[in-house]
């Protein structure tokens, strides 16, 4: 059986439809991408940095041609800009044209939340969690509970705010062994993960 190749329409006007970041957003550098349409893609370039220092760039030539395609740059190391504002824009190049996305200014937080202290208390079926966290852009604490009593995975939120870096939360659980995966997250998408087994 002959192999049939689906060719992109070379007449498709190159356009960057949207990007994964918005102006004023707090970012960590994770999952930076652009949605675009193009007939024959040559390359996609991500520029980032501070204009007076000159922009860093990453070039990808393996993204797909076609309509409504996404070019994903994965996790970009922005640690040198931690706590600073940077510009970010994408450039799409096909065989004839070059188009740019809108340049946006974003602030970088590339550091995971720091868990200074953690403890818990068990009273009957009630478990109380205590957290001491260092994170100025704190978002929330999420949990996943794999246990042998309900025989199903449970998910939820433990904290959505901190007071002087601290929070506590109590929840009732079934009697058995609970394998908790606790994710402390910030508004930029950074995560600190802690695993804790609790027997009730």
Tens digits of residue pLDDT in 189-200: 999 999 999 999
Residue 4 lies in a domain: no
pLDDT digits (tens, 9 = 90+) for 77-96: 999 999 999 999 999 999 88
Domain co-membership, 100 together with 171: no
Domain co-membership, 119 together with 74: no
Domain co-membership, 103 together with 126: no
- For the chain, strand residue ranges (E) read 15-19, 26-27, 33-38, 41-49, 56-60, 66-72, 85-94, 98-100, 104-108, 114-123, 126-134, 138-147, 153-159, 166-172, 177-186, 191-199
Domain co-membership, 178 together with 102: no
Mean pLDDT of 10-19: 83
Final residue of a structural domain among 57, 82, 108: 108
Residue 3 lies in a domain: no
Host domain of residue 158: 114-199
Domain co-membership, 86 together with 52: yes
């Amino acid at each position: 059986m002959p192999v049939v190749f689906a060719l992109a329409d070379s007449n498709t006007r190159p356009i960057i439809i949207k990007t994964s970041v918005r102006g004023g957003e707090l970012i960590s550098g994770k999952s930076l991408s652009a949605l675009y349409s193009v007939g024959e893609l040559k390359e996609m370039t991500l520029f980032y940095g501070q204009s007076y220092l000159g922009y860093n760039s990453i070039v990808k030539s393996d993204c797909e041609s076609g309509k409504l395609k996404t070019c994903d740059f994965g996790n970009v190391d922005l640690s040198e800009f931690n706590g600073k504002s940077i510009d970010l824009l994408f450039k799409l190049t096909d065989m004839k044209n070059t188009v740019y996305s809108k340049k946006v200014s974003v602030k970088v937080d590339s550091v995971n939340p720091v868990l200074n202290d953690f403890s818990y208390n068990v009273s009957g079926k009630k478990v109380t969690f205590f957290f001491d966290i260092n994170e100025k852009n704190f978002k929330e604490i999420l949990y996943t509970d794999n246990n042998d009593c309900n025989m199903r995975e449970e998910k939820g939120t433990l904290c959505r705010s901190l007071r002087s870096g601290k929070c506590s939360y109590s929840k009732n659980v079934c009697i058995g062994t609970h394998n908790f995966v606790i994710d402390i997250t910030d508004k930029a998408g950074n995560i600190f993960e802690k695993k804790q087994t609790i027997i009730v």
